[in-house]
Amino acid sequence: MENKNRRMWRQVLPSLANIVAGWASFAAFSDGMDCAFVKAKPMEFPMSNLEQHLSVYSQAMNFRTQRHQVLASNIANADTPHYKARDFSFESAMQNAMAGRGSDSIAMATTSGGHIRGGGSGGQAALQYRTETQSAVDGNTVDMDVERAQITDNALQYQIVSQFISEKIKGMRSALASTSG
């Protein structure tokens, strides 16, 4: 099972791994899983980074949800004359979110060093018009084959990120249970 998860991780989520800042901290968060991929040795995972790491996965799920809505809208408007298919680059959206360049990023003020820093990583992805793959007489640019493939891939990516978060939380619960007993 572990080798299957490693293979799935390498094949399906390389874009998420490529944009996470700090390979060593990512390797620590992944419990040493496939450290050869990130070229780092497993290290102790500080609890202070827990929120930071989970926010990456949470943001990935938010963007996957947004993308699903956009793709569903494209499919719903497949017969609408002059409708232009929309989409956004998940990779670019995650890079912008991790760099604090979200389209509505507003930094929250903090009055104490102990406050959690907010803002900068949320927001909507920048929608773009999809390149036309087939010409339609009515000016509609929705290609149902492309939309079905994209929405299926996006749903699979969402499920994998969700499962990855679930496994990490389960691992943390297990670690906490073993240290408290």
**For residue range 153-168, what is the model confidence (pLDDT) as tens digits?**
999 999 999 998 898 8
Is residue 39 a part of any domain in this protein?
A: no
**For residue range 114-138, what is the model confidence (pLDDT) as tens digits?**
766 655 445 678 899 988 887 789 9
The pLDDT value recorded for residue 93 is 92
Q: How many domains are there within the chain? A: 1
Is residue 41 a part of any domain in this protein?
A: no
Is residue 1 a part of any domain in this protein?
A: no
The pLDDT value recorded for residue 108 is 59
Question: In this model, does residue 20 exceed pLDDT 80?
Answer: no
The pTM of this model reads 0.62
DSSP letter string, the chain: -HHHHHHHHHHH-HHHHHHSS-HHHHHHHTTTTTHHHHT-------GGGHHHHHHHHHHHHHHHHHHHHHHHHHHHTTTSTT---EE--HHHHHHHHHTT--TT--PPP-SSTTSPP-SSS-S----EEPPPSS--TT-----HHHHHHHHHHHHHHHHHHHHHHHHHHHHHHHHHHHHH-
Mean pLDDT of 95-113: 68
User: At 63, is the pLDDT very low, low, confident or very high (cuts 50, 70, 90)?
Assistant: very high
Is residue 52 a part of any domain in this protein?
A: yes
Is residue 25 a part of any domain in this protein?
A: no
Name which residue leads in pLDDT, 66 or 31: 66
Is residue 152 a part of any domain in this protein?
A: yes
Is residue 13 a part of any domain in this protein?
A: no
Is residue 55 a part of any domain in this protein?
A: yes
Q: Residue 132 belongs to what domain range?
A: 47-108+116-180
